[in-house]
């Protein structure tokens, strides 16, 4: 595929899709693994949680819809568009979700996002998952910059970003639409060797 760039791509096509989506170890016995069909009920349950609903307006309506999302997640990997992992305890019990999307291989940048189930909050699950995903993306794949944004009202997400080495870059005014209206969004980024 010709990309018509004035600079060569930083990462080649297939940087993700040429290999199976990896299982990634994280601190405290956490394991990031691709979503499985048996996770559908837990995934759907997560979107009934008030905190997850507060910050995520895109929500599955049934287990069948979840399975459709999982199929799109596999396609994202196969087409170098992103990766979606269940954050688990030892590869079995699902504690949360972490994803890398908006992948731009030409510039070696991507966005990340996460949520954690209520029973697993406050134990560093999101921080450990984000740190593990970031290290893999930068050290093994070669991404130069990873970024995330969250509502300025989402203080927990801000703490996760800071603890995972994502520096604040500013406030995007009225950039997020939530159930209760527009929110200003904090932008954070982690840059390799910065």
132 in a structural domain: yes
DSSP string across the chain? -----SS--SS-TTTTTTSPPPPEE-GGGEEEEE--GGGHHHHHHHTTSHHHHHH------SHHHHHHHHHHHHHHHHTTS-EEEEEEETTTEEEEEEEEEEEETTTTEEEEEEEE-GGGTTTTHHHHHHHHHHHIIIIII--SEEEEEEETT-HHHHHHHHHTT-EEEEEEEEEEEETTEEEEEEEEEEETT-
14 in a structural domain: no
187 in a structural domain: yes
pLDDT in tens, 79-91: 999 999 999 998 8
pLDDT in tens, 88-133: 998 899 999 999 999 999 999 999 999 999 999 999 999 999 999 9
Total tally of structural domains belonging to the chain: 1
172 in a structural domain: yes
Domain span at residue 55?
A: 24-191
150 in a structural domain: yes
More confident residue, 134 or 4: 134
pLDDT in tens, 5-26: 788 999 999 999 999 999 999 9
Mean of the pLDDT values across residues 181-187?
96
- CATH code for the domain in which residue 126 is found: 3.40.630.30
8 in a structural domain: no
pTM over the 0.85 mark: yes
């Amino acid at each position: 595929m010709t990309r018509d760039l004035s600079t060569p791509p930083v990462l080649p096509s297939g940087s993700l899709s040429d290999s199976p989506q990896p299982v990634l170890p994280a601190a405290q016995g956490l394991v990031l693994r691709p979503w499985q069909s048996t996770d559908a009920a837990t995934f759907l349950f997560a979107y009934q949680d008030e905190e997850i609903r507060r910050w995520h307006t895109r929500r599955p309506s049934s287990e069948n819809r979840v399975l459709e999302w999982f199929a799109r997640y596999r396609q994202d990997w196969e087409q170098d568009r992103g990766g979606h992992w269940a954050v688990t305890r030892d590869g079995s019990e699902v504690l949360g979700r972490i994803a890398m999307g908006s992948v731009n291989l030409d510039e070696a940048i991507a966005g990340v996002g996460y949520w954690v189930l209520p029973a697993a909050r406050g134990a560093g699950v999101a921080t450990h998952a984000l740190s593990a995903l970031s290290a893999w993306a930068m050290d093994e794949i070669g991404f130069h910059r990873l970024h995330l944004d969250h509502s300025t009202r989402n203080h927990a997400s801000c703490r996760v970003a800071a603890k995972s080495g994502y520096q604040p870059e500013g406030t995007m005014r009225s950039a997020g639409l939530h159930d209760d209206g527009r929110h200003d969004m904090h932008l954070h980024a982690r840059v390799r060797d910065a």
